[in-house]
Amino acid sequence: MEIFQTTIKQVISISGVGLHTGNKVTLTFEPAPEDHGYVFQRVDLPGEPKVKADCDLVVDTSRGTTIEDNGARINTVEHVLAALAGLEIDNCLIKLDAPETPIMDGSSKPFIDILLASGIETQKKEREYFEIPNRINYADGKGVEMMALPANDYRLTVMVDYNSPVLGSQHASITNLNEFKDEISSCRTFCFLHELEALVKNNLIKGGDLNNAIVIVDRVIEENEMANIAKLFNKDSIEVKKEGILNNVELRFQNEPARHKLLDIIGDLALAGVPLKAQILAARPGHAANVEFAKKIKRAYLASKRASKLDNNVPVYDPNVPPLYNYQQLANILPHRHPFLLVDRVIRLTENEVIAVKNITGDQYFFQGHFPGEPLMPGVLQLEAMAQAGGVLVLADKENPEKWSTYFVKIENAKFKDKVVPGDTLIIRMALTAPVRRGLCMMKGEAFVGNRLVCEANMMAQIEENK
């Protein structure tokens, strides 16, 4: 079933303060065209620079996720991105007149509400998902583990495990993004009391108060200390509830901290830049781990796109189809002989392109020294095989090809992408990149094993009649 991209129907704004900066900020969501993705814009800066929501632009994860580009920095992007991703909105321009998104109540719910108030509009281009093909793992060596597994939709399970008698171990999960709005979006950020005290004393949460976070009390506090904490947060009084949290808020779910961690993951993984179909499992995640995991997912996605593009470009070799030229016939075109004739068959030949085959057997002479313990076809011989295939391309139409030779005079941009080993079948494509003039020919060469590009190069050859 085709699923199309979406954006919002109309411009809509929300105002608040930044948690860490304390700056008043108005955030405006605007519709965006297909394939736009999520882009932030600092309208308060000269030139109104834009910053794409991209994991490779993350510059800080110490107290939220911060991105920066074009001289503009956007702090605490995760709750906004979680709202957009949770509603499966693909394209949106997010304008701010300050360096940080508004914290609101510490959740994504206020953003969900105004996005729904704006309305969601279906666009004309199909949504592209990254369907995780194989397991992707991340671990930081400090207890954080994250995993993406193949799935038909987007599912997430999170486990948090703090050394705290109050919080302990918690789990949260969703089996479909449709659950995000009601089950996850309203869950607020949380912190331990000792962390909050330190942040306040060091003026690191200028916009923070006891209304936009769950404060977990992880130690016994005396009455006089309680009074000092109340004064610190401009409260007449505070107390600790039996659940081990300050009386600033009521828990919306028993496992609200774990649900908020899930919210953060959805927001941070949106920085990978593509909707996912995957089962995400996360143990003890945080912003730093989420972003590194997003980078691994993004790299896997880009690799899959390259592979997909490559798949459409890979020559197909069917050994059951008789070749245009076999090994013996090639000896009538090329001057090379055993053991230096490195083309076994030609399976396709047009005016501008040749496709040739070389079977890499274990008894090849060059494996004796390259290397006895790990036999590899030398890169220079891969280039030679490509050059010989190119020789067939330019000599096959000559009346007496044996009276002509091709001398390769230049090789540029040679790249060796993967190993070629005994048992491989090397499929070579050489294509003219310009008409042959004055005996000079320019060619683009590629060599494949299966659907893997193992070698590529640009070559120039001089065609000369033998004297």
Tell me if residue 361 falls in helix, strand or coil. Answer: coil
Q: Are 324 and 348 in contact (CB under 8 A)?
A: yes
Average pLDDT over residues 298-303: 92
- pLDDT of 237 > 90? The answer is no
Of residues 125, 119, 103, the one with CA closest to residue 2: 125
Distance from C-alpha of 426 to C-alpha of 406, rounded to nearest angstrom: 22
Average pLDDT over residues 210-227: 66
Total-model pTM? 0.67
pLDDT of residue 205: 54
Top pLDDT among 31 and 407 is at 31
User: Which tokens hold the place of 96?
Assistant: 């701010």
Q: To the nearest whole number, what is the mean pLDDT of the chain? A: 89
CATH number corresponding to 4-186+258-306: 3.30.230.20
| pLDDT one-digit tens code per residue, 66-80 | 999 988 999 999 999
- Residue ranges per structural domain of the chain: 4-186+258-306, 192-247, 327-465
Tell me if residue 105 falls in helix, strand or coil. Answer: coil
pLDDT of residue 207: 47
| pLDDT one-digit tens code per residue, 358-397 | 999 999 989 988 988 899 999 999 999 999 999 999 998 8
Top pLDDT among 164 and 324 is at 324
The residues that are catalytic are: 287, 370
Q: Which residues have CB under 8 Å from 67's CB, separation 6+?
A: 40, 51, 53, 54, 57, 58, 59, 73, 74, 77, 271
157-166, 198-207, 321-330, 440-449: range with lowest mean pLDDT: 198-207
122-136, 220-234, 270-284: range with lowest mean pLDDT: 220-234
For 36, how many CA atoms within 13 A lie in the half-sphere containing its CB? 21
146-155, 229-238, 286-295: range with lowest mean pLDDT: 229-238
82-91, 185-194, 268-277, 328-337: range with lowest mean pLDDT: 185-194
Average pLDDT over residues 31-49: 97
Helix (H) or strand (E) holding 13: strand 12-17
- pLDDT of 100 > 70? The answer is yes
Q: Are 38 and 50 in contact (CB under 8 A)?
A: no
Helix (H) or strand (E) holding 258: helix 256-269
Average pLDDT over residues 229-251: 63
Helices of type H across 135-242? 180-183, 193-201, 223-232
- pLDDT of 60 > 60? The answer is yes
- pLDDT of 343 > 90? The answer is yes
User: Which tokens hold the place of 214?
Assistant: 């769950």
pLDDT of residue 403: 85
- pLDDT of 250 > 90? The answer is no
- pLDDT of 14 > 70? The answer is yes
Distance from C-alpha of 461 to C-alpha of 49, rounded to nearest angstrom: 48
Helices of type H across 331-405? 379-395
For 115, how many CA atoms within 13 A lie in the half-sphere containing its CB? 30
Q: Which amino acid is at 109?
A: K
Confidence of residue 151 (pLDDT cuts 50, 70, 90): very high
What angle (nearest 5°) sits at the alpha carbon of residue 423, between those of residues 381 and 340? Answer: 30
Top pLDDT among 59 and 203 is at 59
- pLDDT of 312 > 70? The answer is no
Helices of type H across 76-222? 78-86, 109-118, 180-183, 193-201
291 CB neighbour count, 10 Å cutoff: 22
The architecture CATH gives domain 327-465: Roll (3.10)
Compute the CA torsion angle 144, 150, 156, 160 (nearest 10 deg).
-20
